[in-house]
């Protein structure tokens, strides 16, 4: 009979898979001159969409990975209601992205690094955590932060080594 820790570890395998897809999306973005952020939206344990940040490509300051993924998921599912969906994000969503998750009724946010980590490498982040937004806004969105943090921090290292990197 498996132990409780074995069961918990097995339950995290899908989370690892989906976060890995978000990381791969971020790597694709980095290779295209974008910033080190990726997202994966899942519903019923099936991938709906993966996306990366397209701020520079689209000349759109709101085109963060989470916003881009939400837009694409809504189009694909033909609804603005993403109830039951989970978003895996390589970094803690900024206040704009957290709000979009809330408005789209995303059930859960799983993120790797934290806003403070993005701030440290030069991003103009508002230092307001998702936990604060959830509490003050009385949002029902569940949050799991720091998931696969080390793997996600490697994205910042990879991006930092790019000659043509641009933060915003």
Name the residues annotated as catalytic: 66
Phi first, then psi: give them for residue 156, nearest 5 degrees.
-65, -40
């Amino acid at each position: 009979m498996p132990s409780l820790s074995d069961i918990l570890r097995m339950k995290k395998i899908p989370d690892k898979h989906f976060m890995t897809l978000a990381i791969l999306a971020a790597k694709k973005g980095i290779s295209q001159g974008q910033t080190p952020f990726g997202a994966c939206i899942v519903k019923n344990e099936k991938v709906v969409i993966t996306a990366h940040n397209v701020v520079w490509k689209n000349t759109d300051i709101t085109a963060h990975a989470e916003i881009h993924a939400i837009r694409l998921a809504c189009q694909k599912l033909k609804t603005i209601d993403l109830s039951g969906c989970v978003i895996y994000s390589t970094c803690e969503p900024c206040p704009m992205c957290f709000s979009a998750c809330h408005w789209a009724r995303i059930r859960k946010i799983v993120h790797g690094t934290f806003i403070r980590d993005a701030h440290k490498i030069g991003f103009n982040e508002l230092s307001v955590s998702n936990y604060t937004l959830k509490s003050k806004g009385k949002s029902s969105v569940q949050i799991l932060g720091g998931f696969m943090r080390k793997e996600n921090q490697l994205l910042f290292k990879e991006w930092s080594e790019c000659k043509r990197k641009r933060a915003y």
